[in-house]
Amino acid sequence: MVRPSLPIGDFSRATHLSIKALRYYHRVGLLEPAEVDPSTGHRRYTPDQIASAQVIKRLRALDMPVDEVSAVIHTTDVEKRNDLISVHLGRLEDALAKTQEATASLRDLLEPQEEPAAATFEHRRTEATETAAVHDVVDLEDLSSWFQGAFGEIHAVLGAQGLRPVGVSGGIYATELFSHERGECTVFVPASGAVRPAGRVEQLVVPGIELAIARHAGDHRDIDRSYGSLATYVAEHAIAVEGPIREYYVVGRRETSDEARWVTEIGWPIFDVGSGRSA
């Protein structure tokens, strides 16, 4: 008995998938037609392929990559199928959270609810400091996880060696991290004694430097605004010099879980000519 089938145009109407999409899904092996006329190349589909086409349409509407859609469609293992979908839904939820954060930040820029406090800036000469440090070349998108892991390792090593943090921890970030989204990063913690190298942790003398300092209050989602204010101040009131940005974590995750109470000092390298402090 000949199976009933639909020409590609009718199948397109039935599934709301364009002919262009159906041809593409055939080419990549995602949804192959039931038959292809060898002389004309015309494609035909069976009615029982409509359900698969509808699933494909919905998964693609959720931006699931074609190879993952193919894995979902072609597996008969229900648990594996659900795992694949759950992983993608998790990615969507993460993306949604980032979009909501970005939207809220943009609204703050466009519709400030109250007059922001005037930014203050300080010139500071830091002294060379003995620290425990982790240094690496990091992709910007991986910076947050690298940052937390590196500080966790430093504090674990200090504890294991009977040493104490004795000052404000900090980070040193190469210009390339911002300009090319990959660059050298160092995080450090001043220590109460000499640090024996262990794992990624090493002893490092952080050199003294002249900096223009801006204080950023709260979490780091909007820290770019403080960077922008500091860059404007340096351009107008100081002599900038080449060198990596410094950050000092005056109040951070180890001091409080309340992100609103965090305080980060951002340091821009300058050649200080005694202008001191500005508002």
Could you tell me the residue ranges of all domains in the chain? 6-74, 121-278
The dihedral region occupied by 112, where left means phi > 0, alpha psi between -120 and 50, and beta the remainder, is: beta
Q: Pick from 192, 195, 172: which is nearest to 183 by CA?
A: 172
pLDDT tens-digit map of 72-87: 999 888 899 899 999 9
Q: Pick from 219, 226, 273: which is nearest to 245 by CA?
A: 226
Residue 222: which pLDDT band, with cuts at 50, 70 and 90? confident
- Is 2 a residue whose pLDDT tops 70? no
Residue 98: which pLDDT band, with cuts at 50, 70 and 90? confident
pLDDT tens-digit map of 53-63: 999 998 998 89
Give percent above pLDDT 70 in the chain. Answer: 94
Q: What is residue 100's predicted lDDT score, i.e. its pLDDT?
A: 83
Q: What CATH number is given for 121-278 in this structure?
A: 3.20.80.10
- Is 113 a residue whose pLDDT tops 70? no
Average pLDDT of the segment spanning 132-155: 96
Residue 167: which pLDDT band, with cuts at 50, 70 and 90? very high
- The rounded distance, in Å, linking the Cα atoms of 38 and 82 is 38
3 state DSSP class of 180: coil
Cα-flanking dihedrals φ and ψ of residue 135, to 5°? Answer: -125, 140
Cα-flanking dihedrals φ and ψ of residue 82, to 5°? Answer: -65, -35
Alpha-carbon dihedral angle through residues 244, 200, 147, 178, given to the nearest 10 degrees: 30
CATH topology of domain 6-74: Multidrug-efflux Transporter Regulator; Chain: A; Domain 2 (1.10.1660)
- Is 278 a residue whose pLDDT tops 50? no
- The rounded distance, in Å, linking the Cα atoms of 76 and 82 is 11
